[in-house]
Chain A
């Protein structure tokens, strides 16, 4: 008797709310055009801070996308999460009429780096200016980093396994891996992803302590990884949610399989120890390739972490070379995040969304604002590059030392190689 074939984790829906577009379509259009959406920070209470440039989401109207009762009890990062989850579920053709009949078959996994800083600040201001009786009860849930998982689950009536990954920026990829494992273990659908809203006064002050943060005030020059002008990273808000589904369940209901989550691995090498991150990231790549049963030569594009700190960029280039061998200097590498900023946990999710779209369109988006690479990498700059992309590698590192790698396969990839 043959072993039952393992369940494969498919991506059937993608929802993006990003600084360069508040829908998956506009995100992709801006991303492939290499449009830079970085801009001077204009959010109230932030203008005087030494962090001048960020990726801000400008065309998302929460009150048009989310019901009033969910809006008042949640922070902006959860507004993004609920909005992106709706986009992903619509894309996957998973409507309430379908999920209401099987609530335990759908779960939620999110990752978040900082939670609801803006909401928390507002309530704490009430506490200190008026007193404890003026702190609203939703303070107890809104600023917690787990809020988005809970609110998506409540709002859509999902009662399957729910969890939150707290693992630094790379936790965004770990959340996808967690979703894939849940699907392999028997849950039909997991709504997974990460969103962040770090562009608010208190949250911005928290970031000022990061020595990797760029304080350059020219949007075109503030975030230029892999160049000799690298001066740190620019933060971003927004993020992406995806629908991860058992491939067979997806095919049975006639859903389009957009990609497969084929392999993932994570390592830890310590906060801001960028030199050591080379070995950690290389090891994560090897682990992800092994799980995906993928040879280095099969990787058609690398979505780089691209921190924009010379030592970290050097380490990433070395990790790619060490893990992929000679292929590492030939494979196209891209970092579209230079046009939208680094959304902490949401950054690798927006990269994952871009990777899925790159595979579908046969087009590798460019790295805006970056020219004159000073590393031995084939970085895609200037304009998008046409290429057959069957397999993509997404890399992510966190400021606190997490390194993760995710291998994605094209949706049309057959299960038996």
Chain B
């Protein structure tokens, strides 16, 4: 496991936690929003919980309020970098 969360890992997490299938390429696009992908707030909360369990570190509370995957990755990765 790397110390940064990649779009590939986020795609896998989204499939597992929210049942939404999305390609890493689609996740990388700046304009892609969770809402249009069909990921609701409970789904995002599930992804945050899964990440916290995997990395053994708390994620910023703003992470679950992210509107886009890009925003989300920036937040959780800066938290992981800070904790490293």
Residue numbers of A with Cβ under 8 A of B are 67-73, 133-134, 136-138, 140-141
Q: How large is the interface on B (under 10, 10 to 19, 20 to 34, 35 or more residues)?
A: 10 to 19
- How near does chain A come to B66, taking the closest CB pair, in angstroms? 15
Chain A, residue nearest B16 (CB): A72
Chain B, residue nearest A71 (CB): B19
Interface residue from A69, A137, A140, A141 paired with B19 (Cβ < 8 Å) = A69
> Per-position contact with A for B19-31: 1 when CB-CB < 8 Å, else 0?
1110000000000
Contacts of A140 in B (CB 8 A): 42
- How near does chain B come to A143, taking the closest CB pair, in angstroms? 14
Which label, helix, strand, loop or mixed, suits the secondary structure of the A interface? helix
Contacts of A70 in B (CB 8 A): 19
Q: Does B18 contact A (CB under 8 A)?
A: yes
Chain B, residue nearest A70 (CB): B19
**A133 touching B19, Cβ below 8 Å:** no
- Contacts A68-B21, A69-B20, A72-B19; is A134 near B42 (CB within 8 Å)? no
**B53 touching A72, Cβ below 8 Å:** no
Instruction: Give complex CA distance A141, B40 in Å.
Output: 13
**B52 touching A133, Cβ below 8 Å:** yes
Contacts of B49 in A (CB 8 A): 133-134, 136-137
**A137 touching B20, Cβ below 8 Å:** no
Chain B, residue nearest A68 (CB): B19
Which label, helix, strand, loop or mixed, suits the secondary structure of the B interface? helix
Instruction: Give complex CA distance A323, B17 in Å.
Output: 54
**A141 touching B42, Cβ below 8 Å:** yes
Q: Does B79 contact A (CB under 8 A)?
A: no
Q: Does B15 contact A (CB under 8 A)?
A: yes
Q: Does B45 contact A (CB under 8 A)?
A: yes
Interface residue from B21, B38, B46 paired with A137 (Cβ < 8 Å) = B46
- How near does chain B come to A119, taking the closest CB pair, in angstroms? 13
Chain A, residue nearest B15 (CB): A68
- How near does chain B come to A170, taking the closest CB pair, in angstroms? 33
**B46 touching A136, Cβ below 8 Å:** yes
- How near does chain B come to A195, taking the closest CB pair, in angstroms? 20
Q: Which of B1-48 contact A (CB under 8 A)?
A: 15, 17-21, 38-39, 42-43, 45-46
Give 20 pairs: A residue, B residue, CB < 8 Å, sorted on A.
Answer: A67-B19, A68-B19, A68-B21, A69-B18, A69-B19, A69-B39, A70-B19, A72-B17, A72-B19, A73-B18, A73-B19, A73-B42, A133-B49, A133-B52, A134-B53, A136-B17, A136-B46, A137-B42, A138-B46, A140-B42
Contacts of A138 in B (CB 8 A): 42, 46
Instruction: Give complex CA distance A138, B49 in Å.
Output: 12
Chain B, residue nearest A141 (CB): B42
Interface residue from B38, B52, B53 paired with A69 (Cβ < 8 Å) = B38
- Contacts A69-B19, A69-B39; is A137 near B45 (CB within 8 Å)? yes
Instruction: Give complex CA distance A73, B52 in Å.
Output: 20
Contacts of B15 in A (CB 8 A): 68
Instruction: Give complex CA distance A71, B43 in Å.
Output: 12
Q: Which of B19, B46, B52 has the most CB of A within 10 A?
A: B19
Instruction: Give complex CA distance A133, B53 in Å.
Output: 7
Instruction: Give complex CA distance A137, B45 in Å.
Output: 7
- Contacts A68-B20, A68-B21, A136-B17; is A73 near B53 (CB within 8 Å)? no
**B43 touching A73, Cβ below 8 Å:** yes
- Beyond A70-B19, A73-B18, 9 additional contacts (C-beta under 8 Å) are A68-B19, A68-B21, A69-B38, A69-B39, A71-B19, A133-B52, A136-B17, A138-B42, A141-B42
Instruction: Give complex CA distance A138, B15 in Å.
Output: 14
Chain A, residue nearest B41 (CB): A137
Contacts of A73 in B (CB 8 A): 18-19, 42-43
Chain A, residue nearest B37 (CB): A69
Contacts of B43 in A (CB 8 A): 69, 73, 137
- How near does chain A come to B39, taking the closest CB pair, in angstroms? 7
Instruction: Give complex CA distance A71, B53 in Å.
Output: 23
Instruction: Give complex CA distance A70, B38 in Å.
Output: 10
Instruction: Give complex CA distance A136, B21 in Å.
Output: 19
Instruction: Give complex CA distance A191, B82 in Å.
Output: 51
- How near does chain B come to A126, taking the closest CB pair, in angstroms? 11
> Per-position contact with A for B51-83: 1 when CB-CB < 8 Å, else 0?
011000000000000000000000000000000
